A = this chain, B = another copy of it.
């Protein structure tokens, strides 16, 4: 995963939402397009759990980003019109301060001494970056997966932060199926003897636990329907002896093995634990005691909720809940359920389906001053 090409350090104490504080956090970010004179054409992207801020290629870094086909000239997040910002989440390991960073007060890695991370902390630290860039109000917040909840955290705490909101395969809060999956993923990492209560050595990290957690992740990021179509009962080409039940016999097993090996080593295990836990903790209903009261604090002109029929991690029922909540407080709410088969990951791997919906949203609501200038 490429590190972001820009970063900013905020000197002083950053108070964490739950408890404790960290000293002078650094936030890595990237931007695309130009901020206009009125500074009202900025879009902030909140990422899912694992991506870096490198959402798209840029002059300084031509490697493709994780949302390459979504951001650029003529693309849904059109850099000819918008100034697009993506911040690496606080707590992550791609340039922003997190458990894998050195604590400036001790000169040692934070590891598990990093305070409990919440999506509120990720939202507040990203908001510091936005303000640092001279922006008082965003045109839009776009939040994918965990990032949609981070976006809600920002909007419920700073109702004037943005005029519009795009929630992609996200939710108002995690429900017990997703909590159980993530809790087990964390336990898989912690059960690897090499984890050593977070004190693993560089170059000798809990690879096995990470591989297992990644496999479990993939089982929930995709869909049974996709795999039935894609693999069926196809055998693995690398499978040598059918008598050996511990060699991947089916194509789906080899596929998971390859994906797990690819991911492992790119993400710091402790950072993963913190971000995963933060995803469980967020609850819009904590703002006023109910989802209704949480939504009531929002101040949005337009909201778009996109979900996917086959998503089991952020399922359609949670998309309907989001859409209904937005609709109560924002007349310009739109809900689209896409018929993609690739489950939760669709927004990363079936961008063709998402592009027209996101395009339409931004076409219908261009930055005010750009319109006035024409």
Contacts and interface: CB of A to CB of B under 8 A. Distances in A.
A107 interface: no
B245 A180 contact: no
A184 B246 contact: no
Interface in A226-246: 227-228, 230-233, 242-243, 245-246
A248 B183 contact: yes
A253 B312 CA distance: 18
Interface residues of A, number: 55
Contact of A18 (B218, B242, B251): B242
Interface in A172-199: 173-181, 183-184, 186-188, 190-191, 193
Contact of A253 (B183, B224, B245): B183
A233 B176 CA distance: 7
A252 B177 CA distance: 8
B224 A212 contact: no
A30 interface: no
B216 A177 contact: no
A220 to B, nearest CB: 9
A225 B216 CA distance: 20
Which one of A181, A245, A253 has the greatest number of beta carbons of chain B within 10 Å? Answer: A245
A207 to B, nearest CB: 11
Given A188-B212, A208-B191, A256-B180, A173 B219 contact: no
Contacts of A208: 191
A250 interface: yes
A202 interface: no
B224 A177 contact: yes
Chain A interface SS verdict (over half): helix
Which one of A231, A243, A253 has the greatest number of beta carbons of chain B within 10 Å? Answer: A253
B243 A18 contact: yes
A215 interface: yes
Given A224-B312, A233-B283, A250-B179, A184 B116 contact: no
Nearest to A116: B243
Contacts of A243: 18-19, 115-116
A176 B246 contact: no
Interface in A112-128: 115-116
Contact of A184 (B178, B215, B232): B215
Contacts of A186: 245-246
A25 to B, nearest CB: 19
A245 B176 contact: no
Contacts of A216: 184, 216
Contacts of A174: 233
Interface stretch (A62-70, A142-150, A273-281): A273-281
A95 interface: no
26 contacts: A18-B243, A19-B243, A115-B243, A116-B243, A174-B233, A175-B224, A175-B227, A176-B231, A176-B252, A177-B227, A177-B228, A179-B253, A180-B215, A180-B219, A180-B256, A181-B219, A183-B253, A184-B212, A184-B216, A184-B219, A186-B246, A187-B212, A216-B216, A224-B312, A245-B273, A312-B312
Interface of A: 18-19, 115-116, 173-181, 183-184, 186-188, 190-191, 193, 208, 212, 215-216, 218-219, 223-224, 227-228, 230-233, 242-243, 245-246, 248-253, 256, 273-274, 277, 280-281, 283, 285, 312, 315
CB-CB nearest 3 A-B residue pairs: A177-B224, A176-B252, A176-B227
